Amino acid sequence: MRIEIDEKNFELMLELDQIEKRIRLLGIQLNVDFENRTPVFVGVLNGSFIFLADLMKEINIASEVTFVKVSSYKGDKSSGKIKEELGLQMSLKDRDVILVEDIVDSGKTLRYLLDMMYKEKPASINVCTLLMKPKSLKTKFDEICYVGFEIPDDFVVGFGLDYNGLGRNLNDIYRAVSTTEIK
């Protein structure tokens, strides 16, 4: 199945059923790993809100949720400059933090977020991301402990991810295709 968003073509990459199954497994893993602890889930807006909402439905341990918002993308390319739009709204001191990302690409935004959170002196930080592009990653992160799917270096939309603000509402995840591939 192909779709068009803002004159850019996309094809189906991951169906909702696959995504939901993987989120259930991540939830089970987090419940086991954080049993008898009260972690705070920190969602990175705007992209992670759908993933985090579905993930929290699978969490049955005591936990809290808060959000941060940073941006670096313009269209389908990173501007290379990270802008903090909403900072931390609670103290993370001595807390177990689970940073929830929609996608880890180069790691530049993740590095920025981790540096910001380590200043708060948390007990631990673990990263849970729906998507990760291992070939794009510029730095190794020991904090990345929970990964939904490893994907190629394609631009993707849907399930919270957008292109120029559009496509976040799509249930499935789609990858960009070049116009030369379209028949």
Enter the pTM of the model: 0.90
| Contact (Cβ atoms closer than 8 angstroms) between residue 97 and residue 122 | yes
pLDDT in tens, the chain (183 residues): 899 999 999 999 999 999 999 999 999 999 999 999 999 999 999 899 999 999 999 999 999 999 999 877 555 555 567 777 777 889 999 999 999 999 999 899 999 999 999 999 999 999 999 999 999 998 889 999 999 999 999 999 999 999 989 999 999 999 999 754 433
Separation of alpha carbons 110 and 44, rounded Å: 10
Which of 54, 105, 162, 172 is catalytic? The answer is 105
Separation of alpha carbons 53 and 49, rounded Å: 6
Report CA 164 to chain centroid distance, whole Å.
17
The total number of residues written for the chain in this structure: 183
List all residues 6 or more positions away from 21 whose beta carbon is below 8 Å from its beta carbon: none
Site of tokens 């929970």: 146
pLDDT at 119: 96
Separation of alpha carbons 18 and 41, rounded Å: 23
* Annotation marks residue 105 as catalytic: yes
* Ordered domains of the chain (ranges, CATH): 6-71+92-178 (3.40.50.2020)
